Amino acid sequence: MTAHESFPRLLLAEWIKLRSVSRWLVTLVSAVLLTIGLGYLAASGSRTDVNRFPDFVTGPRGEPVADEFFFVHQPVTGDATLTVRVASLTTEEDRSTVRMASEELSRLDDPSPFAGAAAGLMIKDGTRPGSSYASVSSTAGRGARLQWDFDGDRPGSAGGAARWLRLQRSGATITGYESADGVTWRKIGTATPKALPATAEIGFYVSSPPARYTTRGGGSSSVGTRPTETEAVFDNVSLDAGGAWQGDAIRMATGSGEKEAPLVDGRVVVTGSTYTVTGSGKIGPHPPDDDMVSAALIGTLAGLMALIAVGVLFATSEYRHGMIRTTLAASPRRGRVLAAKAVVLGAVSFLVGLVGTVGSFLVAVPVLRDQGFTLPAFPRPSLADGAVLRALVLTAVFMAGVAVVGLAIGMLLRHSAAAITITVVLVLLPLIAGMILPGTSPKWLLYTTLAGGLATQRAKPPAVTLAEPWAMIGPWAGIAVVAAWVVGALGLAWWQLRKRDS
């Protein structure tokens, strides 16, 4: 028998061992049912009233957006070209902490290209918040940018805020340009806003997103906002067939669940041909941090406990019944035996996890929608969405990885109860500690323990505003931590298996 032929036979032998124990098969089926059942129960107990607040504005595609700024504008019909020089952009000094309602909150860093203060040119479907637009702007710390309809973004050059800008409309296409001297122009990109009418409002604007602060720990979190104000100086304003300029503060209704202060309205001061504009507010996507997919998959914790039991027993039962001697006699290369066990258990656990996560998703999402997780704050997630598929598949990989870690710990300890307890603790203890620890301190737990694998459940980007600690890191970081644990645990089990007698 060649080495190539022997490993498939080892896989077959380990598969026969796994499926021949009826209680293990029952436990695997129970893992699916527990995942779906707890997902359903958790969804039934979840509720949100976020859509009842009047400050949710939807963009051209129906998504939640923020649309607040000061706009100096006039109507224009058909093609047009607007040019301006942003002479300066002055922002407020950051405050790392604030006190709100007797709580000390820490500033949140937002890496989004829509997060910084901006001054530039815009063409927009009227002045209604949420209407279609395109803008070319100079931003604080993020260089020049062409943005449109709250999610489109094209970066220009980096550097300081002072620069010339040009916005050109030709039919349905908007083109953004920048220049250092007003003579040599560089094209940033083009955009095609979804719903820009023939007659639109065109002009220059200033936005300054509110600073967000948060505190978390003890199983809860709190988020607050503090308005900021930015001043920009515009000169050399040039518009084809231009008329009179009018300044307006574009504002959404207030009333969100966050601790917040009202935004300042902003203003424009005209000195000859120079316009000094002060504005506040954010333009960009504004979805809630809560994740429907993560909420639908919370039942994986219950299914994971069942898989841990199967993984440990798949190792320890052979020692308890003395079958390990027969196995090693038939295949003396002990590392191959361990590898075969890990592959079979991992594959079966992945399939069980995938059936459980897909089932939980399909069962829990309709319940969550009945509990308030609906448009506009929460678009309906679909199995066709790439982020949803990633969450389902990676969560199943996470469950399989933990089962294999249980197998390795079982091989190390050769004691079922102790190995099951340790594996469960490796998942649950960091999770519990992460719920209690304040601020972003739980991150180091997630980056070093199996609890980090729970980050695979999220379809949205990481967020530190939620009570659940696994939301703080990304799904790929979480699964990488689990993979490291699998490799490390199997390595130790292989070393111990070679060193010790059976």
Same domain (yes/no): 322, 266: no
389 to each of 40, 293, 354, 474, how far by Cα in Å?
19, 10, 10, 15
Predicted confidence (pLDDT) at residue 467 exceeds the cutoff of 80:
yes
- Which domain range does residue 186 map to? 51-285
Helix (H), strand (E) at residue 13 = helix 3-20
Query: What is the per-residue burial (b if ≥16 Cβ within 10 Å, else e) of 170-200?
Result: eeeebbbbbbeeeeeeeebbebebeebeeeb
* Local confidence band at 159 (pLDDT 50, 70, 90 cut-offs): confident
Pair (414, 462) in one structural domain: yes
Pair (129, 266) in one structural domain = yes
The one-letter code for the residue type at 483 is A
283-285 sheet: strands from edge to edge? 57-58, 64-67, 283-285
Distance of alpha carbon 335 from alpha carbon 343, whole angstroms: 12
Biggest alpha carbon–alpha carbon distance for the chain: 95
The domain tally of the chain equals 2
- Phi, psi at residue 144, to the nearest 5°? -80, 145
Task: State whether 303 and 281 are in the same domain.
Answer: no
Residue 423's nearest CA partner among 437, 408, 406 is: 406
What DSSP element (H or E) covers 214? strand 211-217
pLDDT band at 252 (very low <50, low <70, confident <90, very high): confident
Residue 490, pLDDT > 90, answer yes
Q: Residues 339, 487: one domain?
A: yes
Last residue of a domain, one of 235, 251, 285: 285
Assign 428 a pLDDT band (cuts: 50, 70, 90): very high
Q: Are residues 170 and 249 in the same domain?
A: yes
Give the residue-averaged pLDDT of 324-332.
63
Co-location of 29 and 65 in the same domain: no
Res 264: pLDDT? 62
324 and 502 Cβ atoms separated by less than 8 Å:
yes
Do residues 441 and 366 both lie within one domain? yes
pLDDT attached to residue 389: 98
Domain boundary residue among 246, 270, 285?
285
- Which pLDDT score is estimated for 1? 43
- On the question of pLDDT at 383 being above 90, the answer is yes
Domain boundary pick from 285, 315, 339: 285
Asked whether the beta carbons of 451 and 445 are under 8 A apart, the reply is yes
One domain for residues 252 and 314:
no
Tens digit of each residue's pLDDT (9 = 90 or more) over 447-463:
999 999 999 999 999 98
pLDDT at 142: 87
Assess whether 232 and 318 both reside in one domain.
no
pLDDT one-digit tens code per residue, 15-37 = 999 999 999 999 999 999 999 99
Using the predicted structure, report yes or no on whether residue 4 has a pLDDT greater than 50.
no
Asked if the bond preceding 209 is cis, omega within 30° of 0, the reply is: no
Grade residue 408 by pLDDT with cuts at 50, 70 and 90. very high
Quick one: 62 and 106 in the same domain? yes
Same domain, 425 and 463: yes
Give the integer Cα–Cα distance in Å for 472 and 251: 31
How confident is the model over 99-110, as a mean pLDDT? 75
Hey, what are 485's tokens?
Answer: 């644990």
Q: What is the mean pLDDT of residues 254-275?
A: 72
Query: How would you class 141 by CB atoms within 10 Å of its CB: exposed for 0-12, middle for 13-18, buried for 19 or more?
Result: exposed
